[in-house]
């Protein structure tokens, strides 16, 4: 490695499949054009990790116990192991696009892992846009990110950062499976930040505890309701039935609202306000990701109706997020002269 290798990994949003994806359900996830750029360059003075947005700049081993740095350090170690023989690297990680450096539910942690590994692959002479390299990066990034989440995450955000576009994603025996999703022609996306940051791992833990209590009381497992709605959604996707596709997405969101009142009651009302405000505009709307915070999304094919949803969010003092689907996935980037 004699030159700087740089890549961009898009962020992501979960359109449908929350919680059900943990038990084999098929999730629809979309890559977005706000993500993470990573550069790997030779370092004359030994290994170094710089994360501008987090204020980190030190050897990786000195950052392993620093709050917010652990996942990045783990990704650097994985990159060195997967692509050995490189000179001691200086790894630089920085957010690019809307909301860079902020935790707003756009899959930034997964994109960081993908970007670091992708930069190591590029430095080793690999083409990160080829199927074989992407499969390797998916296995490696999935393992790193899931281990950091104590085995609880789905990895859907990792897959979206690697492959880009609209992704049909599921786990089979804890192995990720990815293929391009079929979505209605002209499908558009609007996003709002709720102002409430949400921990995925904490939400999953609360969900598992509540689901166990719910089932122990003799009630039908809540997951069955999620899976039934997912089946309806994917059948509509297969048939090209745009109306049912959007209805099922909204109704899945209503199921998530019920769940939010059980596991995140203090945040549930605010999230409901945002989703219902968009829905009154005539679009499909739901929370995205772990319930109780992060982003609300609206989907439809009519740009005017989506603009109306954005106005409704602004009226509620929510922050409209300026992102769009990113079809490119993980890719090399050209550096400005002097970088």
pLDDT digits (tens, 9 = 90+) for 26-79: 999 999 999 999 999 998 888 999 998 999 999 999 998 888 899 999 999 999
Beta strands in the chain (DSSP E): 5-16, 27-42, 48-51, 56-58, 89-96, 166-172, 175-180, 188-193, 284-288, 295-300, 319-321, 331-332
| Structure tokens given for 127 | 């083409």
pLDDT value of position 170? 97
Q: What is the mean pLDDT of the chain?
A: 93
Range scoring the smallest mean pLDDT among 8-12, 42-46, 174-178, 292-296: 42-46
pLDDT value of position 92? 96
pLDDT value of position 337? 55
pLDDT value of position 215? 79
pLDDT digits (tens, 9 = 90+) for 126-143: 999 999 999 999 999 999
pLDDT value of position 269? 94
pTM for this structure?
A: 0.94
pLDDT digits (tens, 9 = 90+) for 236-268: 999 999 999 999 999 999 999 999 999 999 999
| Domains of the chain, CATH where assigned | 5-182+326-332 (3.30.230.10), 188-321 (3.30.70.890)
- Residue pair 111/31 in contact by the 8 Å Cβ criterion: no
Range scoring the smallest mean pLDDT among 48-57, 199-208, 261-270, 330-339: 330-339
pLDDT value of position 339? 52
pLDDT digits (tens, 9 = 90+) for 83-129: 998 988 999 999 999 877 777 789 999 999 999 999 999 999 999 99
pLDDT value of position 145? 94
Candidates 233, 257, 256; CA nearest to 246 is: 233
Residue of 68 and 191 predicted with greater confidence: 191
Distance from C-alpha of 151 to C-alpha of 24, rounded to nearest angstrom? 15
């Amino acid at each position: 490695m004699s030159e700087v290798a740089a890549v961009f990994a898009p962020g992501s949003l979960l359109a449908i499949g929350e919680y059900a994806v943990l038990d084999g359900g098929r999730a629809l996830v979309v890559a977005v054009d706000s993500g993470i750029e990573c550069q790997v360059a030779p370092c004359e003075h030994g290994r170094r990790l710089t994360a501008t947005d987090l204020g980190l700049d030190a050897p990786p081993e000195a950052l392993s116990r620093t709050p917010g740095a652990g996942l990045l350090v783990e990704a650097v170690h994985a990159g060195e192991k997967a692509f050995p023989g490189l000179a001691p690297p200086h790894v630089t990680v920085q957010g690019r696009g809307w909301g860079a450096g902020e935790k707003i539910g756009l899959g930034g942690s997964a994109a960081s892992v993908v970007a670091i590994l992708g930069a190591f692959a590029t430095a080793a002479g690999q083409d990160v846009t080829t199927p074989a390299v992407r499969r390797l990066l998916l296995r490696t990034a999935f393992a790193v990110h899931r281990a950091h989440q104590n085995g609880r995450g789905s990895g859907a955000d990792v897959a979206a950062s690697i492959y880009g576009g609209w992704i049909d994603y599921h786990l089979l025996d804890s192995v990720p499976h990815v293929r391009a999703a079929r979505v209605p022609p002209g499908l558009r996306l609007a996003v709002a930040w709720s102002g409430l940051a949400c921990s995925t791992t904490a939400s999953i833990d609360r969900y598992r505890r509540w689901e166990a209590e719910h089932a122990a009381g003799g009630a039908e497992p809540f997951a069955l309701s999620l899976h039934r709605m997912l089946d309806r959604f994917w059948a509509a996707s297969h048939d090209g039935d745009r109306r049912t596709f959007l209805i099922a997405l909204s109704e899945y969101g209503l199921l998530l609202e019920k769940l939010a009142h059980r596991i995140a009651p203090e945040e549930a009302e605010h999230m409901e306000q945002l989703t219902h405000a968009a829905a009154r505009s005539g679009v499909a709307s739901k929370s995205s990701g772990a319930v109780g915070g992060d982003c609300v999304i609206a989907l439809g094919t009519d740009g005017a109706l989506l603009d109306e949803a954005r106005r409704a969010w602004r009226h509620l003092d929510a922050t409209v997020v300026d992102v769009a689907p990113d079809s490119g996935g993980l890719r090399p980037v050209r550096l400005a002269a002097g970088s």
